[in-house]
A and B are shown apart, each in its own frame.
Chain A
């Protein structure tokens, strides 16, 4: 943004423009409010909320290993939130990250177990696995995109259905022993064979779960997506379709093409996240490991107001809370579910931001397009 001469002359305006805290004010206050309400809940069951929260904080950041564990836990959330956010910007409500993760994880694991992979150096094998995840996710995301563009079928309905299909299809592929399809019969639980050691993402910290290169991959992906949206012609077209599809059509943008591409990419981002989990954490595919990651992605994208960069802190918070909760349960006897409740309340307060504005006396900003995701997802 270039400053207008008359605007930059006023220092207060300049500070406002440079350090515009307004967009993050609501999420921050929402988090605060959720913890206050959560604290009351904890107090009601007879536990000192400060002790419980202290245990939670130590569980999240109490030691280098715990910090690494928190970061590691966040990695897949970044990808699934990107899958949501990118589609939001095109005016689409992609509920299907759950299914896109499953298919992406499946293809990544399947390709990772191919025989030639063990003779392939990591510098090639890892990208192949990631690409396989991307393609699998993109395929699964592309289906609702094509259906929306060509038949008008609403993506909310189709992606929910595709989630079920993906879940049960992958379960069958993994569980089935006769015929044996993808199941590793030597393993005690239903899962695929382990991928080739060369196809694995290198570990950074031996934490629980292990922190691997997937974190850097996902953070880089966030910046790539931010660049696409902010600077490229394609990003401009995507946001135009998401903001005003009628004007997009008028301006010569093929709305159908953008819808399909946006869903393909969104699914692909979820697929990359799944591939990085397969290649960095588990080394095999098992449907249960992806449970709720796609749905939590909705929440994180909403918290980040569909901003790809803001997804990074939002996902880190999300993963850290889940990572720290067991210590709170151990030390303060407060169930892990309380963290889930707090997370849900954060979302509730972000979505119903009038509550937060009322409690903290925040004035509403005038006509910011980033408010759209909290109310209508697209402002048409």
Chain B
């Protein structure tokens, strides 16, 4: 930060000044009396759990929502945005968590879309290309303007989003969870880009819930909790622990406590598995692993390296084209999901809304989605509501699922509680093998802590756990052994205690590392 608070010049006006903003939705106060100021040339991190109101606040600033009360000033001038175009006209740009790009258009076409320079009614491509080139040079954003966006990596697509905002002369940039989709290496590059932007006079609001990143990049930190201002922190003195406590409102145990693994027999064996996705692209290409009773085997890797297909093939949701899967001594390669579940395999799927839950169904029905057909939940083909309700009441209490009742549609719960419904369902009963994919994606610190402890508890009861996660911290804190999945193959295996972020990050990005135990070509 260029200006230290000590010298705080009286005449310095924040470029963005949000005062006492309140925004309510039917039944929810998303923002309550929030005051937030962004100074010229700083990176101001907006930290908070999911649902804390970060995105709502920034959507208010960006003109997507109108606040119920409160005021917004841009460079001292009071503004009232009625839409995104007003915000853009005032030099505000936003990069959303989900990119708003058209994959079949080139970078240039995407950038000029909606802001086309034209001469005599025709697109002026040449001028636009020159401007993009200038912007790229100025801010160190290397992307070929004529490349097709669909062919670019996620990191490059993000740069296109930045160029889009800069092309519209934004000097206040709002970045909504920009690192969620990046690999550790890409995150470092991205931070360099962000620094460069600030050095050239841009001001940045950086929305995240990742503590490590906040400390690495922020000049100032504001924490939201339950729609209210929870406090602010100075990155020089703050620690991950202090920030987490501020975010959650209580002491958070960071390091998962667990005993040494007592690995037993291999309950899940995958041998040379080859899986193609729906389009026929080979996503898993000769993957082998043994997961033993009482151990957690973590599969790290950048998303899209075959994790999804690997999990689907093991759980019977996708038929593999080669290799085999042996679970508890049975060759289950050609079994269907029901048969595999009956063997004692539980599956926490990656996409909880698509696979894990039936949104309009009640919490109770979702809690028995893997056993609704069995006694006592069903007798002679007729569903029995009393046992289902009893089971649901029990699980809701046991797993601390926050819901107004067991008969409300599960889609009305928060993401964390929806995930708890899945966890409760999958982690109870006679589980012998547990396959978990991205179990804490998008969840708040409190829920993550809870779910991690549940997984550890299962491991300690002798369950073989295959954990697939894009979060390195999660892999590192839970796993007894770690494998890195790179282009559908196991690029290396580490003992959990020996692995470091750097080693794994390198292996995830390149597929090769000198110090991994096994390196598959």
Partners in one complex: yes
Interface residues of A, Cβ cutoff 8 Å to B: 1-2, 4, 7, 231-234, 236-237, 240, 243-244, 246-254, 367-369, 379
Bound: A15/B422 CA distance, A: 33
Q: A233 touching B360 by the CB < 8 A rule?
A: no
Given contacts A249-B337, A250-B337, contact A232 B369 (CB under 8 A): no
Q: How far is the CB of B407 from chain A (nearest CB, A)?
A: 6
Q: B383 touching A367 by the CB < 8 A rule?
A: no
Which of B87-95, B284-292, B349-357, B506-514 sits within the interface?
Answer: B349-357
Other-chain residue from B360, B381, B405 in contact with A369 (beta carbon distance below 8 A)? B360
Q: Is B385 among interface residues, defined by CB-CB distance under 8 A? A: yes
Nearest residue (CB) in A for B337 is A252
Given contacts A250-B355, A252-B336, A254-B336, contact A232 B405 (CB under 8 A): no
Bound: A7/B339 CA distance, A: 40
Other-chain residue from A2, A254, A367 in contact with B412 (beta carbon distance below 8 A)? A367
Nearest residue (CB) in B for A235 is B383
Interface positions, chain B 22-47, Cβ under 8 Å from A, are none
Q: How far is the CB of B454 from chain A (nearest CB, A)?
A: 20
Bound: A367/B336 CA distance, A: 32
Other-chain residue from B337, B372, B381, B385 in contact with A2 (beta carbon distance below 8 A)? B385
Q: How far is the CB of B246 from chain A (nearest CB, A)?
A: 33
Q: Is B370 among interface residues, defined by CB-CB distance under 8 A? A: yes
Ranked 10 nearest A-B pairs via Cβ: A252-B338, A369-B360, A250-B355, A252-B337, A4-B405, A233-B378, A251-B369, A244-B358, A246-B354, A233-B373
Nearest residue (CB) in A for B369 is A251
Q: How far is the CB of A30 from chain B (nearest CB, A)?
A: 23
Nearest residue (CB) in B for A230 is B383
Given contacts A231-B383, A251-B372, list 15 more A-B pairs with CB under 8 A: A4-B407, A7-B405, A233-B372, A234-B381, A243-B358, A246-B354, A246-B355, A249-B317, A250-B347, A250-B349, A251-B370, A252-B337, A367-B409, A368-B360, A369-B409
Q: Is B188 among interface residues, defined by CB-CB distance under 8 A? A: no
Q: B358 touching A232 by the CB < 8 A rule?
A: no
Bound: A243/B341 CA distance, A: 22
Interface positions, chain B 328-364, Cβ under 8 Å from A, are 336-339, 341, 347, 349, 351, 354-361
Q: B383 touching A247 by the CB < 8 A rule?
A: no
Q: B383 touching A232 by the CB < 8 A rule?
A: yes
Bound: A249/B319 CA distance, A: 13
Q: Which residues of the other chain, A, contact B405 by a CB distance below 8 angstroms?
A: 4, 7
Bound: A232/B378 CA distance, A: 8
Q: B360 touching A252 by the CB < 8 A rule?
A: no
Given contacts A243-B361, A247-B356, A367-B411, contact A2 B389 (CB under 8 A): yes
Q: A236 touching B354 by the CB < 8 A rule?
A: no
Q: Is B382 among interface residues, defined by CB-CB distance under 8 A? A: yes
Interface residues of B, Cβ cutoff 8 Å to A: 315, 317, 336-339, 341, 347, 349, 351, 354-361, 365, 369-370, 372-373, 378, 381-383, 385, 389, 404-405, 407, 409, 411-412
Bound: A379/B361 CA distance, A: 12
Q: Which residues of the other chain, B, contact A236 by a CB distance below 8 angstroms?
A: 365, 372, 383
Choose among A233, A234, A250 the residue with the greatest number of B CB atoms under 10 Å from its CB: A250
Q: Which residues of the other chain, A, contact B339 by a CB distance below 8 angstroms?
A: 252
Q: How far is the CB of A250 from chain B (nearest CB, A)?
A: 4
Q: B357 touching A247 by the CB < 8 A rule?
A: yes
Given contacts A250-B337, A250-B349, A252-B337, contact A240 B407 (CB under 8 A): no
Bound: A240/B365 CA distance, A: 10
Nearest residue (CB) in A for B342 is A252
Bound: A244/B352 CA distance, A: 12
Q: Which residues of the other chain, A, contact B411 by a CB distance below 8 angstroms?
A: 367
Bound: A244/B410 CA distance, A: 13
Q: Which residues of the other chain, B, contact A244 by a CB distance below 8 angstroms?
A: 354, 357-359
Q: How far is the CB of B278 from chain A (nearest CB, A)?
A: 11
Q: A252 touching B378 by the CB < 8 A rule?
A: no
Q: Which residues of the other chain, B, contact A379 by a CB distance below 8 angstroms?
A: 359-360
Q: B360 touching A247 by the CB < 8 A rule?
A: no
Q: How far is the CB of B394 from chain A (nearest CB, A)?
A: 15
Choose among B360, B365, B411 the residue with the greatest number of A CB atoms under 10 Å from its CB: B360
Bound: A251/B340 CA distance, A: 11
Q: Which residues of the other chain, A, contact B370 by a CB distance below 8 angstroms?
A: 251-252
Nearest residue (CB) in A for B351 is A246
Q: Which residues of the other chain, B, contact A231 by a CB distance below 8 angstroms?
A: 382-383
Bound: A252/B361 CA distance, A: 17
Nearest residue (CB) in A for B385 is A2
Q: How far is the CB of A89 from chain B (nearest CB, A)?
A: 12
Q: Which residues of the other chain, A, contact B378 by a CB distance below 8 angstroms?
A: 233
Bound: A240/B337 CA distance, A: 15
Of the A-B pairs whose beta carbons lie under 8 Å apart in the complex, a sample of 5, sorted by A's number, is A232-B382, A243-B360, A244-B358, A249-B355, A367-B411
Q: How far is the CB of B292 from chain A (nearest CB, A)?
A: 26
Q: How far is the CB of A303 from chain B (nearest CB, A)?
A: 21
Bound: A237/B351 CA distance, A: 20
Nearest residue (CB) in A for B349 is A250
Q: Which residues of the other chain, B, contact A248 by a CB distance below 8 angstroms?
A: 358
Q: Which residues of the other chain, A, contact B404 by a CB distance below 8 angstroms?
A: 4
Choose among B337, B347, B357, B404 the residue with the greatest number of A CB atoms under 10 Å from its CB: B337
Q: Which residues of the other chain, A, contact B385 by a CB distance below 8 angstroms?
A: 2
Q: How far is the CB of B405 from chain A (nearest CB, A)?
A: 5
Nearest residue (CB) in A for B354 is A246
Q: A233 touching B383 by the CB < 8 A rule?
A: yes
Q: Which residues of the other chain, A, contact B354 by a CB distance below 8 angstroms?
A: 244, 246-247
Given contacts A2-B407, A233-B381, contact A247 B355 (CB under 8 A): yes
Q: Which residues of the other chain, B, contact A233 by a CB distance below 8 angstroms?
A: 372-373, 378, 381-383
Bound: A85/B373 CA distance, A: 24
Q: Which residues of the other chain, A, contact B383 by a CB distance below 8 angstroms?
A: 231-233, 236
Bound: A232/B380 CA distance, A: 9
Q: How far is the CB of A26 from chain B (nearest CB, A)?
A: 18
